[in-house]
Amino acid sequence: MKKLVQDFEVLQRKELNDDHFVLDVKALEPLPEIRPGQFVNVLVKDSNTTFLRRPLSIHFVDYERNTISLYIKKIGDGTKKLGELKEGDTLNIVYPLGNQYSIPNNANTLLVGGGCGVAPLLYLAKHLNQAGNKVTTLLGVRSEKDAVELDAYKEYGNILVTTEDGSFGEKGYPTQHSILEKEKFDYVFTCGPEPMMKAVAAYSTQKNIPCEVSLENTMACGFGACLCCVTETTEGNKCTCTEGPVFNINDLKW
């Protein structure tokens, strides 16, 4: 898959809640094939404190509109500046980066996301659904106002939510959701805070279900040139940006 560096045009910024937003950006040339789990590396202009690009998962791809959607949480000045982009602004993007989630066939799949780790799951849900899988997406959020975009997930399957304060869905963490014991899944995909992913991994290991996680770490280039982003695997250090960000939990030293 050829990697590109291109200017995109900001089409829309949707505020989801206090610190999350979705940015729809339009490519000026036809988008290449983009696989679920891949990410982009964006250039933040006009920030006194941001030097490197910022890696962001690909939340959704709309080939008809020729757009990529990014699901972003405001963390520091870089993501804050992205949250100030307006319609018509330009965003420079290096993409598509990284490997991809596996797409099984006719399986009962579970997607578990937390925090801005939900970002890659929507596009994954679409691909899993298209390949004839049953899709259940389980999102763990703090409270009702953080349970966003549920309709979008519903297009591709079942959507479940846990909230920490019990204000919506089941109360607790995603790994405490009743569905995990009620239903038998064939494949688990997860992305989110490391403790959550480790709990999901433990569940999968215990139930003997294949499980893929998407890792975040500090990246300088995003395309394999700097070797800053290694993850320890059973086969030694692997490059998270080219051999990841998606890893099968069997390959990790978790």
Ligand X SMILES: Cc1cc2nc3c(=O)[nH]c(=O)nc-3n(C[C@H](O)[C@H](O)[C@H](O)COP(=O)(O)OP(=O)(O)OC[C@H]3O[C@@H](n4cnc5c(N)ncnc54)[C@H](O)[C@@H]3O)c2cc1C
78 is in an annotated binding site: yes
Q: Does 219 contact another protein by CB under 8 A?
A: yes
Out of 91, 229, 249, 252, name the contact with another protein by CB under 8 A.
229
CA 244 to chain centre: 13
Cis preceding-peptide flag for 245 (omega within 30 of 0): yes
Which x/- pattern, by CB under 8 A, does the window 58-97 give for another protein?
------------------------------------x---
> Could you identify the residue written with the tokens 């799949």?
109
226 is in an annotated binding site: yes
Question: Among residues 1 and 228, whose Cβ is nearest to ligand FMN?
Answer: 228
Pick one of ligand FES, ligand X, another protein, none as the site partner of residue 3 (Cβ within 5 to 8 A by kind).
Answer: another protein
Which x/- pattern, by CB under 6 A, does the window 118-157 give for ligand X?
-x--------------------------------------
37 is in an annotated binding site: no
Q: Which stretch binds ligand X (CB under 6 A): 29-37, 127-135, 178-186, 212-220?
A: 212-220
Judged by CB under 8 A, the chain residues 48 through 67 that form the site for a second copy are: 48, 50-51
Q: Does 47 contact a second copy by CB under 8 A?
A: yes
Please provide residue 130's backbone torsions phi and psi, each rounded to the nearest 5 degrees.
-60, -35
Contact 241, 251 (CB under 8 A): no
Taking the CA atoms of the chain, what radius of gyration do you get in angstroms?
17
Instruction: Enumerate binding residues for a second copy (CB under 8 A).
Output: 45-48, 50-51, 81
Binding residues for [2Fe-2S] cluster: 221, 226, 229, 241
Binding residues: 54-57, 78-79, 221, 226, 229, 241
